[in-house]
């Protein structure tokens, strides 16, 4: 089990990760979701000691990353699909990591086969496509046969067939009892891959639970269009309805939870607020995700 | 630590930078030692005493004039890791950063040795051919030649370790190349000539890394000759042993500074 415990990291005055806590359970693929700049990569970097958290800690079965003796044998990490020397071949890259993982050239060949790069093993990484680099990152993460996997945007750059292949591979790895965490800024991208989701926005936890729970928890979201969004939010607050965390601003659209569309419409009209549009959220997960993280985009 | 050393060794030999720099170095050493030896042999024509006195200086030219190459090879081995971000998988594989950095410094010794041997062989070949062309005895089998070659290898090896330390400190690839070139090719030569012109400051100049390098490679380089023959002042230079210590101190100081600068710094 991975435990993220009150993790915080600031860059200057900006809270990239803000008192974030969640757990990732074994035997499942967990999606780590949030809009651009939500703090996903920062969380993964802090978990693996590449950056120092200001507060809190992340543990893998109770141990911090730096306490692991051969971390590659416990935690497989693929963070940046660009961290290669262009002059090295795919197998050179793995061979330079092999001593740390305590494996030899045969294991390097095996994982290259696993990610579909056996043909490219002797080619220089400089000539690799984005998808091939992603696969090589994954191969490096799998090198030490780890029980935990942390993958940052693993389907980035993959073609539809590659996405399907990745889905199957992650499923198999989770079925073997491993703990798999994959980040994405698109729920739809990983919707068919993940069992659980952890959703963050602006460095804070928005939701943690199964996909089914996510659907249930937000089935009743209503979106309201108005030229006076703050007044709409005020009405919702007075009635005790729920709003997305931090009263997110998303132009003229306000998401309201815990009420039917009729109740919302009546309340707004009674309050004399101009109502320009109103719709109940569909059960489409992507719009649920959007409603939860709406307006909390990363470019802060 | 063994894993880290093996990894560093593999990293080094799977990139092209080091052998491109090594070939440049060999060509440069070959040309300068050949040219200097030829001109020198021609100038002293027939004076066997002068030939055997100055021969070690010619065979040690690499260490006194070309130490920039092993320094760059060492430095780029480190900065390349940051430039191409392979430092990320490296620290993921070994989060105890002191292990990684110590391995880098230690691994630089055998790699530096390979480069030092290649450079010294170039000087021996170039110098011998030059002396022969100028009508002087190359004296390749003389014991002082072997001593000069051995000390040249020692000095050049230490320069690659200094380069690694410098690389850890500077991190930026361009930054480290500019620093090394500017210091070794411009600042240091000028400062050495300038400082050694005054008795009160000539004691400082001998502690410059290039001066220490000269001391190791025979203490008879261009600069010390310049000062003696120009009889501007008594040439003060370190003994071989002191030179080794001073060079080692530079390597250790740069590596320690680099260590302090990197040990806690975010890699992002
Ligand atoms: N090294 C850094 N220096 C300053 N600010 C940073 C740094 N790294 C991240 N940030 C800021 O922290 C916030 C979180 O960034 P992070 O990379 O964790 O987001 P993310 O969720 O991974 O986004 P994306 O989906 O775009 O990858 C962003 O606003 C970003 O600008
Ligand atoms: Mg990211």
Q: B163 lies in which domain range?
A: 2-262
pLDDT tens profile A75-109: 999 997 778 999 999 999 999 999 999 999 999 99
| Local confidence band at A53 (pLDDT 50, 70, 90 cut-offs) | very high
Residue B267 lies inside a defined structural domain of this protein: no
Average pLDDT in chain A: 89
Are B166 and B183 spatial neighbours (Cβ–Cβ below 8 Å)?
no
- Selecting from B7, B266, B267 the residue whose C-beta is nearest the C-beta of A99 gives B7
**Residues of A with Cβ-Cβ distance to B85 under 8 angstroms:** 80, 82-84
CB contact under 8 A, B86 and A84: yes
DSSP strand pairing (A148-151 vs A179-184): parallel
Q: Which residues, at least 6 apart from A102, have a Cβ–Cβ distance to it below 8 Å?
A: A70, A72, A73, A144, B3
Measured from the CA of B266, which atom of ligand 1 is nearest? Answer: 1
Are B145 and B53 spatial neighbours (Cβ–Cβ below 8 Å)?
no
Q: Which ligand is nearest to the CA of A293?
A: 1
pLDDT tens profile A233-285: 899 889 888 787 654 566 788 888 777 788 888 999 999 999 888 877 655 66
Residue B152 lies inside a defined structural domain of this protein: yes
CATH T-level assignment (fold) for domain A220-282: Alpha-Beta Plaits (3.30.70)
CB contact under 8 A, B84 and A84: yes
pLDDT at residue B228, rounded to an integer? 46
B13 Cα to chain A: minimum distance (Å): 10
Q: What letter would DSSP give residue B119? A: H
pLDDT at residue B168, rounded to an integer? 86
Sheet holding A148-151, edge to edge: A75-78, A148-151, A179-184, A28-33, A196-201, A204-210
CB contact under 8 A, B267 and A88: no
Instruction: Give one word for B147, left, alpha or beta, with left for phi > 0 and alpha for psi -120 to 50.
Output: alpha
Answer whether A224 touches B (CB < 8 Å): no
Q: Please report which helix (H) or strand (E) contains residue A15, including its range.
A: strand A14-24
Are A225 and A252 spatial neighbours (Cβ–Cβ below 8 Å)?
yes
Architecture of domain A2-214: 3-Layer(aba) Sandwich (3.40)
pLDDT at residue A248, rounded to an integer? 55
pTM: 0.84
Average pLDDT of adjacent 10-residue blocks, chain B of 268 residues: 94 87 92 91 81 84 85 89 92 94 89 92 94 87 88 90 87 87 84 78 80 73 51 59 88 86 79
**Residues of A with Cβ-Cβ distance to B96 under 8 angstroms:** 66
Answer whether B97 touches A (CB < 8 Å): no
pLDDT at residue B188, rounded to an integer? 83
Distance from C-alpha of A64 to C-alpha of A275, rounded to nearest angstrom: 52
Residue of A109, A22, A92, A15 lying closest to A55 (CA atoms): A15
pLDDT at residue B233, rounded to an integer? 40
Answer whether B94 touches A (CB < 8 Å): yes
Ligand 1 atom 11: residue of nearest CA: A16
Residue B215 lies inside a defined structural domain of this protein: yes
Answer whether A77 touches B (CB < 8 Å): yes
Which residue ranges make up each domain of chain A?
Answer: 2-214, 220-282
Residue B236 lies inside a defined structural domain of this protein: yes
CB contact under 8 A, A83 and B84: yes
Q: Which residues surround ligand 1 with Cβ inside 6 Å?
A: A 11, 16, 34, 36-42, 185, 298, 300; B 268
**Nearest residue of chain A to residue B16 (CA atoms):** A87
Ligand 1 atom 24: residue of nearest CA: A36
Answer whether B15 touches A (CB < 8 Å): yes
Residue B9 lies inside a defined structural domain of this protein: yes
**Residues of A with Cβ-Cβ distance to B88 under 8 angstroms:** 50, 79-80, 83
ipTM > 0.85 for the complex: no
**Residues of B with Cβ-Cβ distance to A95 under 8 angstroms:** 10, 14
Distance from C-alpha of B14 to C-alpha of B6, rounded to nearest angstrom: 12
**Total number of domains constituting chain B:** 1
Q: Is A177 helix (H, G, I), strand (E, B) or coil?
A: coil
Residue B237 lies inside a defined structural domain of this protein: yes
pLDDT at residue A119, rounded to an integer? 94
Residue B13 lies inside a defined structural domain of this protein: yes
φ/ψ of A183, rounded to 5, equals -100, 155
φ/ψ of A181, rounded to 5, equals -120, 120
Distance from C-alpha of B32 to C-alpha of B29, rounded to nearest angstrom: 5
């Amino acid at each position: 089990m991975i435990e993220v415990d009150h993790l915080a990291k600031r860059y200057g005055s900006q809270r990239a990760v803000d008192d974030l806590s969640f757990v990732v359970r074994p035997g499942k693929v967990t999606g780590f979701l949030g809009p651009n700049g939500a703090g996903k990569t920062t969380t993964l970097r802090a978990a693996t000691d590449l950056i120092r958290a200001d507060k809190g800690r992340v543990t893998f079965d109770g141990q911090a990353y730096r306490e692991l003796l051969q971390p590659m044998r416990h935690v497989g990490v693929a963070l940046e699909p660009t961290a290669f020397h262009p002059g090295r071949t795919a197998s050179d890259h793995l061979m330079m990591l092999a001593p740390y993982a305590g494996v030899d050239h045969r294991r390097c060949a095996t994982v290259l086969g696993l990610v579909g790069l056996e043909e490219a093993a002797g080619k220089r990484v400089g000539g690799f496509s984005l998808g091939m680099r992603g696969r090589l990152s994954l191969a490096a993460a799998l090198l030490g046969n780890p029980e935990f996997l942390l993958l940052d945007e693993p389907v980035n750059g993959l073609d539809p067939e590659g996405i399907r292949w990745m889905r199957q591979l992650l499923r198999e790895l989770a079925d073997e009892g491993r703990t798999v965490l994959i980040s994405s800024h698109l729920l739809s991208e990983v919707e068919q891959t993940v069992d659980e989701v952890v959703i963050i926005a602006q460095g804070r936890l928005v939701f943690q639970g199964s996909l089914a729970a996510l659907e249930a928890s937000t089935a009743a979201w209503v979106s309201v269009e108005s030229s006076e969004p703050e007044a709409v939010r005020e009405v919702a607050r007075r009635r005790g309805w729920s709003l997305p965390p931090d009263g997110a601003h998303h132009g003229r659209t306000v998401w309201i939870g815990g009420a039917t569309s009729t109740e919302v419409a009546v309340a707004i009209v009674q309050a004399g607020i101009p109502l320009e549009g109103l719709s109940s959220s569909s059960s489409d997960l992507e719009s649920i995700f959007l409603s939860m993280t709406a307006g909390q985009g990363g470019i802060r | 630590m063994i894993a880290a050393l093996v990894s560093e060794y593999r990293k080094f030999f799977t990139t092209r930078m080091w052998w491109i720099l090594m070939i440049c170095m060999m060509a440069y050493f070959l040309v300068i030692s050949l040219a200097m030896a030829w001109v020198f042999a021609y100038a002293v024509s027939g004076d066997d005493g002068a030939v055997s006195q100055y021969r070690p200086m010619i065979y040690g030219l690499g260490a006194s004039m070309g130490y920039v190459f092993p320094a760059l090879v060492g430095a780029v081995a480190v900065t390349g890791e940051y430039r191409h971000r392979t430092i990320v998988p490296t620290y993921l594989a070994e989060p105890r950063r002191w292990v990684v950095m110590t391995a880098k410094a230690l691994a630089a010794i055998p790699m530096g040795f390979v480069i030092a041997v290649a450079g010294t062989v170039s000087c021996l070949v170039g110098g011998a051919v030059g002396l022969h062309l100028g009508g002087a005895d190359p004296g390749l089998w003389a014991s002082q030649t072997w001593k000069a070659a051995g000390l040249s290898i020692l000095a050049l090896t230490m320069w690659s370790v200094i380069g690694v330390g410098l690389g850890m400190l500077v991190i930026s690839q361009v930054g480290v190349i500019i620093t090394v070139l500017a210091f070794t090719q411009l600042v240091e030569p000028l400062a050495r000539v300038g400082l050694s012109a005054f008795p009160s400051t000539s004691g400082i100049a001998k502690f410059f890394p290039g001066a220490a390098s000269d001391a190791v490679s025979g203490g008879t380089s261009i600069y010390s000759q310049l000062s003696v023959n120009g009889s501007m002042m008594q040439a003060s230079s370190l003994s071989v042993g002191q030179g080794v210590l001073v060079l080692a101190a530079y390597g250790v100081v740069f590596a320690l500074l680099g260590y302090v600068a990197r040990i806690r710094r975010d890699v992002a």
